[in-house]
Amino acid sequence: MSKVLIPLADGFEEIEALAVVDILRRAEIEVVLAGLHEGAVRSARNINIIPDATLDSINAAAFDMIVLPGGQPGTDNLNSDPRIHELLKEFDAREKLIGAICAAPIILASAGLLAGKHATSYPSYVDRLEGACYEDRQVVCDDRIITSQGAGTAISFGLEIVGRLVDRKKAAEVAAAMLVHDQSHAVWNHRLFNSTIQALVGALEMKDTYTQGHAKRVTEFSLCIGSKLNLPEDELRDLYLGAVLHDIGKIGTNEDVLNKPDSLSRHEETLVREHPLKGTLFIVGIENLSHIVPTILHHHERWDGSGYPGRLKGEQIPLHARIVSVTDAFDAMISNRSYRDGLEKDIAIRELQKQKGTQFDPFIVDVFIECLNDSPFEMKDFSYYF
């Protein structure tokens, strides 16, 4: 059975703490409420709660996740307690899940856990997320960190945690029993998104013959990595969109440059390097697609910080962009281009290994090679996302 720690400080938001406790216990997840001090903890609206334990008695190794509720002055009280920061860093070092809702993501930022991560929070706290990539969504997952926007999103937040700690089936069962209706289908209309995506990729393929099939292969490779990483379904959807549209900015690049049979001049190379920025400008105004901008913008960053356009380094690079960076490079190496023949698969794999820690995230390279070894002849069918 999974076990979750929820620290409570005076002034916590009732819904954000207790709705999450309710949902997790419905899913048979053990929850321990820990007060900063002995005795009752008073909520923002003067409700007294008797915690299960005090913070000093907590052993982080016994838990699978820590969740911080928001509310004020509860958030500030948690943030000012050095024991909370120590716990967060220990949970992070042990690679356990970490969650925060409403104002509480600023505590994660103060502990140095949000730099380069995708996160959300109550809108008035966005400027205190310190290096995070803010997303205006109810719940945002980035690897082991789950954040949510506020009291009205507490149920979605709790169900996301159930999905990560148990599985999606259990989360769906809990939601159904609570009469929580899934709103995702209203946003993710398959025909609408399929038509939009296929039109955009089709327009690009008319300009650049190399891209024919490239976007689909990069998407299949990327989703295979995402599945290996056990990314939740909404993240896989985002990864799909970012991967299939990663080169969409090349629509704004001259065809003669894209299809040039010789090596590019320095000026032409500069023009091609503009495609992540052009893709960002192209996508950012499209409703329900703007959140994939970081994948498009940063898929040519390098692990050592020498990439473009932002010269981001290591885990500053968004996870989805790190994934697409590897799969895009691999497909480019094995594909025939106007100026060279494609490499054999084994040679391309050796090149990926050679560039671990310089161009590519070493862990993502290892996961991708596992994917290739698992499916050496045929990639998994990801038609669900089309």
Show the beta-strand stretches assigned E in the chain: 3-8, 30-35, 41-42, 48-49, 53-54, 65-68, 97-101, 118-119, 133-134, 139-142, 145-148
Quote the tokens at residue 58. Answer: 């907590």
The verdict on whether 102 is a catalytic residue reads yes
Quote the tokens at residue 251. Answer: 């629509």
Query: How far is the C-alpha of 48 from the C-alpha of 10, rounded, in Å?
Result: 9
Residue with tokens 């925060």: 100
Torsion sign (Cα): 142, 278, 197, 184: positive
The closest alpha carbon to 231, from 134, 323, 302, 154, belongs to 323
Question: How wide is the angle at C-alpha 150 spanned by C-alphas 149 and 151, nearest 5°?
Answer: 150
Helix, strand or coil, per DSSP, at residue 8:
strand
- Report the catalytic residues: 102
